[in-house]
Structure 1
Amino acid sequence: MINKTRRRKLKKVLKHSFIADVLKKLNDDNVFNKKGEPFSKMYISLVFNGKNENIDIELAIMEVYNLRLEQQKMYVEKRKQLEK
């Protein structure tokens, strides 16, 4: 379950519009709800905010977090190179 402290840390990197990336990750991994349909954006938001618990969605959120963190690091490195 995503608690308040972890959610704050995630928000600093994920910022906004991360739900679409999480949904795409879940669909690419063939992770669906009980009815075999893609999860709704609202449900993903509820899991992120700690209202519901779903391990698959939490793992997808963490993967998107790690991907964006790497992208930010690469951006900072490239920016430093340009400033030289």
Structure 2
Amino acid sequence: MLKLTKPIETYEEYGFKKCKGEYGKNNCYYLCVSKGCEIIFISPVVIDILPWRDDDSRIHKNANCKYKDIRTALDIVCEMVEYGLATVEY
């Protein structure tokens, strides 16, 4: 299982945006990834990669996305582990 290693608010420095609505009130953040059309969703208890749908109620109308970034969501999550932003626990 993947777990965050820093306070969740610090992930804004790495490009994550706070979700809107009830998800935002529960400290959930997201990062849209153009390659593969996926979202990295993080909360204090979970890290997940989900398909990016335009009608997703958690994300803003103008999603934060760097279209020139060639990394996939899995690449970014692996980098998070490599740089100490997340850890793997079994």
TM-score of the two chains, using structure 2 as the length reference: 0.28
**Higher normalized strand content (fraction of residues):** 2
Q: Which has the larger radius of gyration?
A: 1
Which structure is higher in helix share? 1
